[in-house]
Amino acid sequence: MKPNTIPLLTPYKMGQFDLSHRVVLAPLTRQRSYGGMPQPHAALYYAQRATAGGFLISEGTRVSASEAPSSFADVPGIWAPEHVEAWRPVVDAVHGKGAVFFCQLWHVAGHAVRQQVSPQMSFDGRREELTSPRTVAAEDAPGVVDGFRRAARNAIDAGFDGVEILGANGYFVDDDDDGQGANGVESRCRFALEVVDAVAREVGGHRVGVRLDQFAATPDEHALALHVVCRLNDRGVLYCHMIEPRVDGRRRVSRRLLPFREAFGGTFIASGGYGREEGDAAVGEGYADLVAYGRLFLANPDLPRRFELGAPLNECDAATFYGAGAAAADPAVGYTDYPFFD
């Protein structure tokens, strides 16, 4: 790397995609898809954050109408033809800027068979109880897996370049009972890998990413997450996107993802607690290939440019993260009205 090079702004080849920089828009729930349909303002929101050769990941997008009612109202879906049609102009707007766009697939009611739904992660890294715990019956598992498969196909039909399966924040991995008294690592990973297999068969592993964390971060859970990451290699998954663990209740760049980075053979994306300096260090030292930014990208639609110029950053307004309050009256508030650096 040349002297004075900004590592985050160097090009990178992610499978078939030639990226011009390594600053990724992280998936961010915004609750502005009224009635579950992506709206015209979403096209502006994503296009504002798109750059030629940039990489964006959509907000979590529901894969099924059969999920239990969610505490997240007005999140988009991708299970029906009308969702495909509604997403197309949004995807076209991003592609018009020359960016790569993946759709994050999300089973709101809970990914794991027989596992209670865990609290969703808030923007600042605190855990919030957003739904009452419930379980997904074992006999429903094939339908959930097929829902992911069909949603992945719909995403590609809508024009997305690929999909990201949400397996972080307490979703995705089975508990320690498979109904037959087995509690080994392989048993606990079975449902997760069935979802990955179904999606990869449908759209190709070269268009599939998986987002994970370290689950409970106990030694056993750490080993479980590492096992999942290793098994992703067998399936030709394009990238592994992992969230930094919490330190003192908040996301911090602790470099604890290194074992997962070393275990995964494809593109590795790190997120959670990163600023420009931390992102530059992660890329420059080989800790991550790409770095995903949430709140900073939310408040700074031209984040890569600001990083390039060393420009000051807009402060984000937590009151408008989700589609309520002022955002309910005007969806542009805290969404498409953040200023660009001039």
Two tokens, residue 157 = 């039909």
Q: Where are the alpha helices (DSSP H) in the chain?
A: 40-48, 81-96, 141-157, 185-203, 219-233, 258-263, 276-284, 295-299, 303-309, 326-329
Tokens (6 digits) for 213: 């964390």
Nearest C-alpha neighbor of 252 from the set 270, 273, 269: 273
Nearest-angstrom CA–CA distance, 105 and 271: 18
Catalytic, out of 34, 45, 46, 171: 171
Q: Is 309 helix (H, G, I), strand (E, B) or coil?
A: helix
273/292 Cα distance (integer angstroms): 10
Sign of CA dihedral 127, 47, 38, 205: negative
Query: Residue 139 corresponds to which tokens in the numbers above?
Result: 């006999």
Q: Which two tokens stand for residue 45?
A: 């929101």
For the question of residue 171 being annotated catalytic, the response is yes
Taking each helix axis from N to C end, the angle separating 219-233 and 185-203, rounded to the nearest 10 degrees, works out to: 30
Indicate which residues carry an active-site annotation. 171
